[in-house]
Amino acid sequence: MADFSGLLARCERTAFKLEMRDQYMTGDPGYLAWEAGDLGRAVQLYSDWTATARSAVNRGVTMRRVRIVSEPVSAYIIFEHAVTPGVNLAAGEEIRWLPRRLASDLLLPGNDVWIFDDQLVQFCHFAGDGSWVANDENDSPAVVKQCADAFAAAWDRAADHREYHV
C-alpha cells in the first residue's frame, strides 16, 4: 500500500477507482471480523485507509469509486457494502455500484484500476482467489484516457451507495 499512498499523496484533483471483482482478500482481518459478526471492529480495522482517503479529500481531491458487481452479490460484496458508510463515505469518498449485467456493453480495462488526475493509472492485479499479486503504473496518455473513459461510462450508469441495496 505504500506505493498507492505515495501516488495519492501526490494527487492534486481526482482519484478514481474502478473495481470489478466479486471477491478480494478474504483472509483480511476486516473481512474476518465482519464474517464473525463484528461490523464495528471491521470498520475500525480500516481506519488507516479512512484517514488516508480523508486527508486527500481534505486537500481538495475528489475521490470516486465504482464497484461493478455480479448479482446476486457475493458474501464479499455484502461485506463491502456494509463497511462502505464507516470506511469510504466517512472519508469523503463517493461510492457507486453497477450491476455487471448493466455494464456488458462498456469497454472496461482487464484489471481494477486507480486513475490519478487523468495523468496516471495504477492497475491492481489479483489472483483468482482474490489475493493481491501486484500493482503497476502506466502514464501513457492513450491508456490513461481509455481507463478514464471506462470509469466515466461506469460512473454515469452506477447507482449511488445509498440507492443500491444488496
Instruction: Tell me what pLDDT residue 2 has.
Output: 45
Multiple choice CATH, 2-163, 3.10.580.10, 3.30.870.10, 3.40.109.10, 3.40.50.300: 3.30.870.10
Q: How far apart are CA 120 and CA 137, in angstroms?
A: 7
Residues 114, 128: contact at Cβ < 8 Å?
A: no
Give the whole-number percent of the chain exceeding pLDDT 70. Answer: 99
For the chain, what is the radius of gyration of the CA atoms? 15
Distance CA 46, CA 83 (A): 9
pLDDT at 17: 98
Nearest CA among 11, 86, 17, 96 for reference residue 55: 11
Query: For the segment 71-85, what is each residue's pLDDT rounded down to a tens digit?
Result: 999 999 999 999 999
The CA–CA distances, whole Å, from 133 to 97, 125, 155 equal: 24, 5, 26
How many percent of the chain have pLDDT more than 90?
Answer: 97
pLDDT at 4: 87
Instruction: Give me the phi and psi of 67, to 5 degrees please.
Output: -110, 115
Tell me what pLDDT residue 1 has. Answer: 42
For the chain, what is the mean pLDDT?
A: 96
Q: Where are the domains of the chain?
A: 2-163
- Residue 55 C-alpha cell reads as 486527508
